[in-house]
Amino acid sequence: MSTSSRTLALLSGLAAVGTLSTTIILPSFPAMAASLNAAPQDMALTLSCFFLVFAVGQLLVGPLSDRYGRRPVILSGLVLFVLGSLLGASATDLNSMIAARVIQAAGVCAASVLARAVARDLYDGPALAKALAFIMVAMAAAPGFSPLLGSLIDSHLGWRISFLLVAAAGVILIVGYTFSLGETHAPSARLKMTASAIVKAYLQLLGDRRFALPALAVSLVIGGLYAFFAAAPAIMIRGMGYSSVQLGLFFAATVFVVFSSGILAPKLAQRWGSVPVALTGGAVALTGGVLQVLFYQDQQLGQFSIAICLFLAGMGVINPLGIAITLQPFAEQAGLASSLLGFLQMAVAATATWLISALPLSTGLSLGATLCTGAVAAMIGFALHRQNDLQAINQQVARQ
């Protein structure tokens, strides 16, 4: 089946709307904090709660859609997401905002996770590759460019309009999905795994070092990315005095660092091997974290830019290679492995963003400490994975 532009746009929107709803409000954190009578650093809680619920939701919506079909799960999730967005637009304090973000996450995780499942239902071969490429571009572009949109909205219309905008996006997706796509998961293909069987399968994956080590490694550097998202508004707007529009431009510029390193990573891996290149990416990311620790006090934009760009360059190398290393041995369990990897990434993101507000340190130092910890732990994970592979090879040679 060939890919239609309408279907690709719909799948890309489903995949990106969750990230859009998070990153579009980042430049508004100072204004939101003032309106909600909250400390600026406490706004990171709206991220950590979102990511935690999103993480757990990923483990549930996949099996639910395998059993009951994609359509009811996606549409129900989108309705819940719209409700959460409207509640966010009317929030009057931090607790009500956190509640709204929890509802948003509970709903939107279905759309974001199942966009790839719908693509697998509809396409195969080159058409599937094209569809997944569009989805990944949308997911990568959303966190880079949506803060700029959010900053413009914040400057001219106020932060509550951003929530109304993502609610409108949810309504458009509901209408588009209802009239453009029917149920894509045939009843004959549906799985009826029991809850205990699903839990057992997830636990088996977690107990397999081939999955657990690289999965945790890539999740830890992704956590650093979201820690940067959480800390940047306080550092640049409150600390350096930049406007929300300038923060949005900064976020947009960092997208090109991630894109460039992500494109370079597979080429380097072909020559030097995925794990050695991933370890090198970890060293680059660690350098950025160390510089953030050294420069956090009275930090200027140039120092912050160098530290963050180095971390993001290393993260951009690790992300595609780490995901490939994690999923490579599990072709027959690709769906479960992908869902569990997504859960780990969002769980670590929730922890990292929570640390930004929870650590008894300045925001800049908290960010640097989080980046360093994630990079070091990721390097340890990849090193142990490489050692595990070498041991397996030696055992195989000994048996021969």
DSSP 296-354: -TT--HHHHHHHHHHHHHHHHHHHHHHHHHHHTT-GGGHHHHHHHHHHHHHHHHHHHHH
Instruction: Indicate if the pLDDT at residue 109 is higher than 70.
Output: yes
In a domain, 254, yes or no: yes
Inside any domain, residue 270: yes
CA–CA separation, 380 and 217 (whole Å): 8
- End-to-end CA separation in angstroms for the chain: 46
Structure confidence at residue 131 (pLDDT): 66
Of 7 and 140, the one with more pLDDT:
7
Same domain? For 105 and 240 the reply is: no
**Residue-level pLDDT at 2:** 45
**321 and 378 share one domain:** yes
CB 81 within 8 A of CB 113: no
Evaluate whether residue 100 is within a structural domain: yes
- Domain end residue (candidates: 133, 163, 192): 192
Q: Do 218 and 178 belong together in one domain?
A: no
Q: Do 76 and 150 fall into the same domain?
A: yes
- Whether the CB-CB separation of 96 and 37 falls below 8 Å is answered with no
* Per-residue pLDDT tens over the stretch 197-210: 888 888 988 898 88
Q: Per-residue pLDDT for 249 more than 90? A: no
Question: In this structure, are 156 and 240 located in the same domain?
Answer: no
**CATH number of domain containing 391:** 1.20.1250.20
Q: Which residues contact 107 (CB under 8 A, 6 or more apart)?
A: 76, 77, 78, 79, 80, 81, 82, 83, 84
CA distances from 3 to 17, 32, 129 (A): 21, 41, 10
Residue of 240 and 146 predicted with greater confidence: 240
Considering the domain boundaries, does residue 197 fall inside one?
no
| Lowest model confidence (mean pLDDT) among 141-145, 169-173, 280-284 | 141-145
Domain contains 203: no
29-33, 51-55, 141-145, 217-221: which range is least confident on average? 141-145
Do the domain assignments include residue 219? yes
Tell me: do 181 and 240 sit in the same domain. no
Looking at the chain, the number of H-run helices and the number of E-run strands are: 14, 0
Nearest Cα neighbor of 225 from 337, 342, 308 is 308
Q: State yes or no: pLDDT of 331 exceeds 60.
A: no
pLDDT class for 220, splitting at 50, 70, 90? very high
Q: Do 263 and 381 have their domain in common? A: yes
32 with 170, same domain? Answer: yes
Q: Does residue 156 sit in the same domain as residue 270? A: no
| Mean pLDDT over each residue of the chain, to the nearest integer | 83
- pLDDT band at residue 163, thresholds of 50, 70 and 90? very high
Question: What's the gap between Cα 292 and its chain centre?
Answer: 22
272 is written with which tokens? 């030097």
Number of compact structural domains in the chain:
2
pLDDT of 118 strictly over 50 = yes
Are residues 288 and 249 both part of a single domain? yes
Where is the domain boundary, 166, 192, 218?
Answer: 192
Q: Find the domain containing 388 and state its range.
A: 208-400
Q: Are residues 136 and 31 in the same domain?
A: yes
* pLDDT tens per residue, range 138-157: 666 677 778 888 888 888 89
Given a cut of 90, whether residue 372 has pLDDT beyond it is: yes
Name the percent of the chain lying above pLDDT 90. 29
Residue 112 binned pLDDT confidence (cut-offs 50, 70, 90):
confident
Within a domain: 102: yes
Classify residue 200: in a domain, yes or no: no
Same domain membership, residue 248 and residue 141: no
